[in-house]
Structure 1
Amino acid sequence: MKNLNRIHLSGLRAVEAVGRLGSLKAAAEELGVTIGAVSQQVQKVEGQLARPLFERRSRGLVPLAFALPVLSQLTHGMSALSTAVDMASRERSGMLTVSAAPVFAGKWLVWHLKSFSKAHPDIRVRVEASVALTDPSLSDVDLCIRVGRGPYPGLKATKLLDQRIFPVCSPVLAETFEKPEDMFKLPVILDPGQMFTWEDWLQATGRDRIQLQPGPSFSDGALCLDAAVAGQGVFLAWETLAYYALTSGQLVRPFPDMIATGISYWLLHSPHKPFDGPARAFSDWLRQELPQSLELPPEI
């Protein structure tokens, strides 16, 4: 490793960040320095190597063909360094960082995390609620909980639970029904970002000829659920989102049909990081807690 003596780590970090993120601006934001500082570091490394790594274009820096495998190795190396630093820090703090979508984190995880803390008081969990598809190989995140169809190339993926959908509405609205089918007279609360549609549930239950009544639209599943609790209409929910509202009586299910979407909950981790201690303990707990916690009350 003597050849590393002639190139500073800060320069290699700049080169790797520019190559991975695709721009000087993004690299500067990640490294916490100015764009000019990143540019200077890249030029300095190129001078020390006696060859350019990037082609300068009007829209930014583009890696030269020979530099692509070099940048890939740098990314793996920086990831290994990050993992080593994280392992040393975690040894002192007992911290486990879990990335989860805000809806899952807010509507399920926070309600159940106390049982994990009770079983493992020596492990402190930091929940990073984000819709960004964080790569645990390139960050300090230990585990990711994601909802999707898979696969997740480059990551270890454990399937946790199949997602099932069903209509919900407020008890006040449900009291106006003479029969469950009266639900279809209500406005439908929509989330345009959902990975499934009402047609999925209607077709699977043989009700695909029913004409739905348009209602309010929200860009977040939790807001849609709150709108249903507030009596603004009927919403096509799923178990981890609606569990607390159903068990507390804020919402009811007019129909018993719970339809699988083909989407699942997954636990992801990096194959380049150790999967033991806190990570394994959380994984074992989540695989048991998630399915056991979703016994819903019967339909009305």
Structure 2
Amino acid sequence: MHVLNRFHLNGLRALEAAARLGSLRAAAEELGVTIGAVSQQVLKAEEQFGHPVFERHPKGLRPTPFGQEVLRYLSAGFAEISAGLTRASRQREGVLTVSVAPVFASKWLVWRLQRFREQHPDIRIRIDADVALVDPNTSDVDVCIRVGRGDWRNVRAERLLDQLVFPVCSRALAERLWHPHDLAHVPIIREPTPMFDWNVWLAPNGLDETILGDGPVFSDASLCLDAAVAGQGVFLGWETLACDAIAMGRLTSPFPDRYATGISYWFVTSRSAPSARAVQAFRDWLKAELSTGVRQDGTLVP
């Protein structure tokens, strides 16, 4: 790595920022210096390389073929440095950042976090509720809780719980449901882009989606569950979504059968970073919370 001693770090930072942001002005704002200072740093770096890194155009900067090759490595290197410094800062502050789907966070996780805080008062939890698949190798996220098949590349993925689905509705509506065929005569609550369809539950009962009628459509599962609580129809829910509402008597499951969707909940962390104490503590707590709520038949209870 002695080759690094031949280059000024400020010049390399200016190159990376200018390439990523597309202009000297934007790079100057990010680095907190003048446009002239960034321009001088870029020129000095190009002199050290012995090749132009950018072509100058009225609309901004465009990397030369040589620049594209160099900047690819600079971008990756500075991203690694940023991730490492962020991780070190969070560990010093005792902050654990957890990326999780909003519906899992609002319907299950936040109601149980106080127990984690009581067991680990020195660890501060920051919940990043987002449906986007964050890469823990390059972001400031320590842990991702994700639903899928666990086939994500370049991460550690530990299965937490298989997802089982079943119809849920208000107690009043459940009085009309004695057999799965009766679902043809009640409103069905739907998401526009669900992770799975009703056939996951209907097919083992010898039925398919064609028997289902219309009903309200809501943009996410949390709203669908609230609509079911309000008596607006039957929703195909799952355990971490519905178990607390069932325990409080706000919802009921009119049929006993629960079927696997083929996807699971996973505890996802960086493959390259060592597992910090806070990450291990959160994983152990989460697994314990889930395991204490799982019956012998594999279903989850509060």
Pairwise same-fold verdict (TM > 0.5): yes
The corresponding residue for 2:17 is 14
Separation of aligned partners in 2, 1:262 and 1:59? 50
SS at match of 1:98: strand
1:4 to 7, 23, 26: 7
The corresponding residue for 2:94 is 94
SS at match of 1:166: strand
The corresponding residue for 2:174 is 174
1:1-300 pair list within 5 angstroms: 1-5=4-8, 7-14=10-17, 18=20, 24=22, 32=30, 44=43, 45-46=45-46, 48-53=48-53, 70-179=70-179, 181-208=181-208, 211-295=211-295
- Residues 69 and 160 of structure 1, relative CA distance in 2, 3 Å threshold: farther
What value does the CA root-mean-square deviation take over the aligned residues? 3.4
| TM-score for the superposition, normalised by structure 2 | 0.81
1:122 corresponds to which letter in structure 2?
Answer: D
Does structure 1 retain, via aligned residues, the 8 Å contact 2:198–2:208?
A: no
| TM-score for the superposition, normalised by structure 1 | 0.82
Structure 1 residue 144 displacement after superposition: 0.8
Separation of aligned partners in 2, 1:205 and 1:57? 65
2:17 corresponds to which letter in structure 1?
Answer: A
For structure 1, which segment, 45-54 or 61-70, has the greater mean C-alpha deviation from structure 2 after superposition?
61-70
Separation of aligned partners in 2, 1:162 and 1:64? 50
Does structure 2 retain, via aligned residues, the 8 Å contact 1:191–1:217?
A: yes
Per-residue CA distance 1:212-231 (angstroms, 9 max, x = gap): 01111111110111111111
Structure 1: gaps spanning 5 or more residues: none
Structure 1 residue 52 displacement after superposition: 4.5
SS at match of 2:151: coil
SS at match of 1:217: coil
Separation of aligned partners in 2, 1:81 and 1:63? 23
Does structure 1 retain, via aligned residues, the 8 Å contact 2:87–2:140?
A: no
- Residues 33 and 90 of structure 1, relative CA distance in 2, 3 Å threshold: closer
Separation of aligned partners in 1, 2:103 and 2:117? 21
Per-residue CA distance 1:20-71 (angstroms, 9 max, x = gap): xxx739xx69x8589x96x969964556534355678999977666666644
SS at match of 1:97: strand
Separation of aligned partners in 2, 1:42 and 1:150? 45
Separation of aligned partners in 2, 1:54 and 1:195? 45
Residue-pair matches, total: 289
Does structure 1 retain, via aligned residues, the 8 Å contact 2:12–2:74?
A: no
SS at match of 2:274: coil
Per-residue CA distance 1:77-130 (angstroms, 9 max, x = gap): 223322332243234321111111111111111011122112211111111111
Structure 2: gaps spanning 5 or more residues: none
Does structure 2 retain, via aligned residues, the 8 Å contact 1:80–1:272?
A: no
What is the percent sequence identity of the aligned residues? 48
SS at match of 2:96: strand
Per-residue CA distance 1:232-257 (angstroms, 9 max, x = gap): 11101111111111111111111122
**Which of structures 1 and 2 has the bigger CA Rg?**
2
Does structure 1 retain, via aligned residues, the 8 Å contact 2:162–2:264?
A: yes
1:24 corresponds to which letter in structure 2?
Answer: G
Structure 1 residue 265 displacement after superposition: 1.1
Does structure 2 retain, via aligned residues, the 8 Å contact 1:174–1:183?
A: no
